[in-house]
Amino acid sequence: MEQGKRRFSIGLTGGIGSGKTTVADMLGARGAALVDTDLIAHQLTAPGGSAIPEIHAQFGAAFLTAEGALDRGRMRQYVFSDPQAKSRLESILHPLIRIETERAAEAAQGAYLIFVVPLLVESSSWKERVSRVLVVDCSEETQLRRVISRSGLPEAQVRAIMAAQATRAQRLAAADDVIDNDGEPAALAPQVDRLHALYSRLAMQ
């Protein structure tokens, strides 16, 4: 774990629908090592995932699907209405995510490490863990449009998810680097190229 701490690392974040996954994949294609904390959280809560027994014990079988995965829709609704349930769920998930993340970071091969962390700005431990914070930025209208067209969720639900995240201004204030993703996908490549060159240089120092 100590070795992981010393390695040059980027924390990539942004609001829902900002384009985190898109940008992470582009940096990965250029040689960065990606650790996606959302993916890890999904694996922990998939059938047979290591968070499932404790979720079952604390919340009951009603929060699991027939296949034995976390019923995300049901849990999302429940924790929105009950902050205590939210912190109970987080106290199950966060330590497991941390362990799996560090394991993945040690195994990852690449010029430098990128942790993709949707709620990085909200977490002081994540801000301390990474060498630099990269924010993928776009307007709230753009976020809404993208998430609705990707997921089909009703607008009110997307707005509620956005309201539970840091604001655009809070994210920008925490950023060392910003990628503007309000425009066409083609506008990303030059920005990604510039940052990849910077990160590759910094990782060698």
The residue among 70 and 158 lying less far from ligand ADP, judged by its C-beta, is: 158
- Residues near ligand ADP (CB under 6 A): 14, 16-22, 146, 150, 181, 184-185
Give the Cα separation of 36 and 65 in Å (integer). Answer: 24
CB of 135 vs ligand ADP, minimal distance in Å: 11
Tokens of residue 143, six digits: 């976020």
Q: Residue 62 is which amino acid?
A: A
Give the nearer residue to ligand ADP in terms of CB position, either 104 or 138: 138
- Give me the least distance between CB of 62 and ligand ADP, in Å please: 28
Q: Which is nearer to ligand ADP, 92 or 179 (CB)?
A: 179
Nearest CB to ligand ADP, comparing residues 36 and 100:
36
Shortest distance (Å) from residue 37 CB to ligand ADP: 12
Confirm if 188 and 20 have CB atoms less than 8 A apart: no
Contact 134, 19 (CB under 8 A): no
CB of 22 to ligand ADP, least distance (A): 4
Q: Which H helix or E strand runs over 197?
A: helix 188-204
Q: What angle do CA 73, 78, 80 make, to 5 degrees?
A: 100
